[in-house]
A and B are shown apart, each in its own frame.
Chain A
């Protein structure tokens, strides 16, 4: 079956531009996560959705970052007034449920470069 998909795969933005990154999770998956991965580092947690509810946004680095999942499926991560330090790979992951031991399945990521 289809895995997690993300678009665009690559995005170049000028400093100060707004960007929107899309995630299509595996159909029927309850949980959705966004991560930020800097070069040579592991993924860092940004935010978590259970269906349409955003239950944890403690990892969002600033109020310029905003995420939504209005119908409990597709999610969008928006970054306003992008800065150079926002350059990274943004990964989306989904899992079937929210319980212990549920495996998170990752998309290919969106590579964001802010000039």
Chain B
């Protein structure tokens, strides 16, 4: 069965304390891996798409990387406004469309 596992479940950082979130997957036929940010009471907000091992993408203090088995979301010098739940999702080719399976998320809290 295809699985997506995110760790840690929760992470508390001091402002400026860099860290990484992990997303490991056991799927076949991966077409893409997505990172989303979700604030309380809102829908997921798209951050990155990664397609192949070795790929990296950056946006402000966030950098996403991908290997054959996992992806990391690196947060450099986080600020309180980075506090949110970060969701990882993998896209498979299923019946000719892009079915997406989500992990349970990492809840990040950045303390001033």
Give, as a whole number of angstroms, the nearest-CB distance from B95 to chain A. Answer: 6
**Interface flags, A14-48, vs B, CB<8A=1, else 0:** 00000000000000000101010000111111001
Q: Which of B64-105 contact A (CB under 8 A)?
A: 87, 89, 91, 93-105
- Inter-subunit contact B87/A42 (CB<8 Å): yes
Q: Which of B1-48 contact A (CB under 8 A)?
A: 4, 31-32, 34, 36, 41-46
Chain B residues with CB under 8 A of A1: none
Chain A residues with CB under 8 A of B43: 4, 91, 93, 106-109
Please classify how large the interface on chain B is, using the bins under 10, 10 to 19, 20 to 34, 35 or more. 20 to 34
Bound complex: CA A33 to CA B91 (Å)? 13
Residues of A within 8 A of B (CB): 4, 31, 33, 35, 40-45, 48, 50, 55-56, 91, 93, 95, 98-109, 111
- Known contacts A42-B89, A55-B95, A98-B97; 16 further A-B pairs (Cβ under 8 A): A4-B43, A31-B97, A43-B102, A56-B94, A91-B43, A91-B44, A100-B91, A101-B32, A101-B51, A101-B91, A103-B49, A104-B34, A104-B46, A105-B46, A108-B43, A109-B42
Residues of B within 8 A of A (CB): 4, 31-32, 34, 36, 41-46, 49, 51, 87, 89, 91, 93-105
